[in-house]
Amino acid sequence: MKSFDIKTKIYFGDNALDRLEALPYKRVLVITDPFIEKSGMLQAITYRLTNGNIEFDVFTDVVPDPPIEKITAGVEKVVSYNPECIVAVGGGSALDEAKAIREFARKVTGNNEVALIAIPTTSGTGSEVTSFAVVTDSAQGIKYPLVSEDLLPTEAILDAELVKSVPASITADTGMDVLTHALEAYVSTENNEFSNALAEKAIEICGTFLLRSYLDNNDTHARKKMHVASCLAGLAFNSASLGLNHGIAHAIGAQFHIPHGRANAMVLPHIIEYNSDINKHSKSRPTYSPCVKKYVNAAKLLGVNNFNEITTVRALVSYIQFLMKEMNMPLSISQCQIDKNEYFNAIDKMAEHAVNDACTKTNPRVPTKMEVASILEHLYE
């Protein structure tokens, strides 16, 4: 038996932020990253809380890939301020930090009633609708997803006004995260008709609007579409989970601090080849694994239609590499100014972490540690 539900209520479209004026809470803690505060974007949140006569305090101790120390500081803040609701504003790092803070604060206070409103300012992680929060254990060099329905935000607000300021390189990284979420959910062992419908729409939007968003910051139509695609892909993987691509990206991200979406993008062509068992030397076969059909569908949704299974999967890989080049993204680790010896010395550890990552469990092909190490080696060049 399977089930599908969307617990998080989603507000979207023009002026979606106005929802904040009508929140049924009197005391709110806003958790956001320092950029959102310094840039003045936070005012779009706080003036609406003020209009709604809602008392608030702000916690800005958020850094990319939230480490456990920051979560502890946030828990202390929640315990002392005792809010009825947390409003998390920012990229996936701020949202995940807030999700983890609320979860650990619950354990300290025993109060399970604190609501969480997630307001993404990047179009990437879909964290506003997922039961995942990715945290980093800096001492161990591990990045791992906490997964629990208790992490699901109460509400999500998608207002594309907040993503207008995202610079091109972050648009590229986060946009490729969306595409990776959708593709991984689409071929996951837990994929189902509901998650597939969501993933297909997200893939289609990425094909039409990701490059447009990258090329022109002022293309608000494209930005609005990518903001919705990010959420659709989040809903897809919240149902179907992800795969080895994220397992490897977490391992590399923890070790070498490559932005999450960028790491995913570099890994993606390798994972499509690995999962489909199709590479540039492949010849036609009478049968293919079920994920090949999915990759062929995905290619068609992206407008990459080709002669047969092999050529279409190859075209999908080429399309992803083309997109990355157009968006000036590195295609390999060697293009990320990472020392070769340091990288190769870390492969064994990264392969171990990737195989054991919670996301890897639903990959369509069960990887061995040696296979993952081989992917990591190829990723360097």
Q: Contact residues for ligand NAD (CB under 6 A)?
A: 33, 35, 64-65, 90-94, 96, 121-122, 124-127, 130, 132-134, 162-163, 165-166, 170, 174, 177, 260-261
Selection from 31, 96, 36, 40 nearest residue 65 by Cα: 96
Residue among 130 and 191 whose Cβ is closer to ligand NAD: 130
128 binds Zn ion (CB under 5 A): no
SS in 3 state form for 214-262?
HHCCCCHHHHHHHHHHHHHHHHHHHHHCCCHHHHHHHHHHHHHCCCHHH
Question: Which sign, positive or negative, has the C-alpha torsion 143, 148, 153, 159?
Answer: positive
The C-alpha atoms of residue 10 and residue 92 are separated, in whole angstroms, by: 17
Hey, what are 255's tokens?
Answer: 């070790």
Residue 353's Cβ-side half-sphere holds a number of Cα atoms within 13 Å equal to 24
Length of the chain: 381
Which of ligand NAD, Zn ion, none binds 199 (CB below 5-8 Å, type-dependent)?
none
Which residues between 175 and 194 bind Zn ion (CB under 5 A)? 177
Number of residues that bind Zn ion (CB under 5 A): 1
Q: Least CB distance from residue 292 to ligand NAD, whole Å?
A: 26
Shortest approach of ligand NAD to residue 180 CB, angstroms?
9
- Residue 232 Cβ vs ligand NAD, minimum distance, rounded to whole Å: 13
* Residue number, nearest CB to Zn ion: 177
Nearest residue (CB) to ligand NAD, 252 versus 299:
252
Q: How far is the CB of 177 from Zn ion (least distance, A)?
A: 4
Nearest distance from C-beta of residue 167 to ligand NAD, angstroms: 6
Q: Which residue is nearest to ligand NAD (CB)?
A: 91
Nearest-angstrom CA–CA distance, 234 and 128:
8
Partner in contact with 90, chosen from Zn ion, ligand NAD, none, beta carbon below 5 to 8 Å by kind: ligand NAD
Pairing of strands 115-120, 85-90: parallel
Q: Is 278 helix (H, G, I), strand (E, B) or coil?
A: coil
Which residues are at the interface with Zn ion (CB under 5 A)? 177
